[in-house]
Amino acid sequence: MMEKALLPGLTLPELENYVKALGEPGYRARQISEWLKKGAGFEDMRNLPGSLLDVLRGSAIAQPASILSRQRSRIDGTEKYLFSLQGDHTVEGVLMRYRHGLTLCLSTQVGCRMGCAFCASTLGGKLRDLRAGEMVGMATLINRLCQPERVHNIVLMGSGEPLDNYDEVLRFLNLITSPDGLNIGARRISLSTCGLPEEMRRLAREGLPVTLSVSLHAPNDTVRRFLMPIAHRVSMAQLLSACRDYAQVTRRRVVFEYALIHGVNAAVDQARELARHLAGMLCHVNLIPLNDVPERDLRAATPQEVAGFRQALENAGISATVRREMGADISGACGQLRAQYLKNPVGPMWKETSP
Ligand code: SF4
């Protein structure tokens, strides 16, 4: 059987070709595109003829994502979603309320094959890549739900390594920044990677100045190899060289993510070592107080360790902030909602949690 086309994954010219191939006038593409931008399904497209809708239902999908569960934090309004996708797959998404607007965190793969020790998303490996149309579908669905507000920023930091799904992620970036789509500026998008130098350099040349957020999490190769298997293939020197190139080509500062883990990477000496590596680079360090990951026996650094680490970086002239914990009452580590659901599927649910 032929696979159905994912309409949110098509550009407007591609959609035009698609409707023309069905014997319809090209202007129908614009009508469909306006609906897709609103996260609509075929049932909403009331200005299209019934005959066209019948054909479309047989050959295409308008909204590839649906919401299986939605939890809302009573502390700060953060919302955590579990999406259902084709093939009985599930991925998570998080909507955070910052002063600079609503920020949506999306996944790029079902699971992940990178194996980072602190990450629940990788426990079952990678099941499949997400398609651009699925990522656009999740974004438009959430944008629709948060009206009259809108999604202002997107971070690709959910499950998956975005650069391990390069072509579909690039297509997503082009669609989501397009005036025909949600029109979210590239500068309001962050892409988080565990550090694949070749793909980072390729991305720098795409002309999409997204913020590159690099999961560093270590002051040297030894600690990084303990936490992140990718470090066996890519040394810190190779990674930081690609980061310098990215900053130079895009003129965007690179953000380094650093989850502070008690007894592993949170000592003041390690902060000084990190600062020596980053000296002179256009960059910022985002310190993350890790949520405990019981599956991996990793514990969060203490508040004193977090403060001391940050101070040591700043003393060495490296800009650093501590990430505010969002949705502390609902989140846990990334991937935990999906893990809970896989253990105990309960069907659609809405839950508001108390601190
Ligand atoms: S932190 Fe990111 S790259 Fe590492 S295993 Fe988790 S999802 Fe994959």
- pLDDT tens for 76-105 read 889 999 999 999 999 999 999 988 899 999
Identify whether the C-beta of residue 335 lies closer than 8 Å to the C-beta of residue 294. Answer: no
Q: Is the pLDDT of residue 169 over 90?
A: yes
Q: Closest ligand 1 atom to the C-alpha of 161?
A: 3
Could you tell me the pLDDT band of residue 289, with boundaries at 50, 70 and 90?
Answer: confident
CA distance 213 to 92: 19
Domains delineated in the chain:
5-61 (1.10.150.530), 102-341 (3.20.20.70)
The set of residues, in sequence order, having a beta carbon less than 8 Å from that of 122 and lying 6+ positions away, is: 111, 112, 113, 114, 115, 116, 335
Q: Is the pLDDT of residue 128 over 70?
A: yes
- pLDDT tens for 234-285 read 999 999 999 999 999 999 999 999 999 999 999 999 999 999 999 999 999 9
Looking at every residue in the chain, the average pLDDT score rounds to: 90
**What percent of the chain clears pLDDT 70, i.e. is strictly above it?**
91
In this predicted structure, what is the pLDDT of residue 342? 52
- Parallel/antiparallel/unpaired status of strands 349-353 and 66-73: parallel
- Residue 181: which of 316, 279, 38 has the closest Cα? 38
CA distance 257 to 259: 7
Q: How far is CA 264 from CA 76, 177, 220, 222, 332, in A?
A: 30, 39, 12, 11, 20
The number of angstroms, rounded, from the C-alpha of 252 to the middle of its chain's C-alpha atoms is 19
Could you tell me the pLDDT band of residue 1, with boundaries at 50, 70 and 90?
Answer: low
Phi, psi of 70 (to 5 degrees): -145, 125
Given the residues 79, 92, 168, 257, select the one marked as catalytic.
92
Please confirm, yes or no, whether 161 is among the known catalytic residues.
Answer: no
The answer, yes or no, to whether any atom of ligand 1 lies below 6 A from the CB of 116, is: yes
Q: Give the residue, by CA position, lying nearest to ligand 1 atom 6.
A: 119
Give the lowest-confidence range in 223-232, 238-247, 330-339: 330-339
Residue of 108, 129, 161, 215 with the most ligand 1 atoms within 8 Å of its CB, for mutation = 161
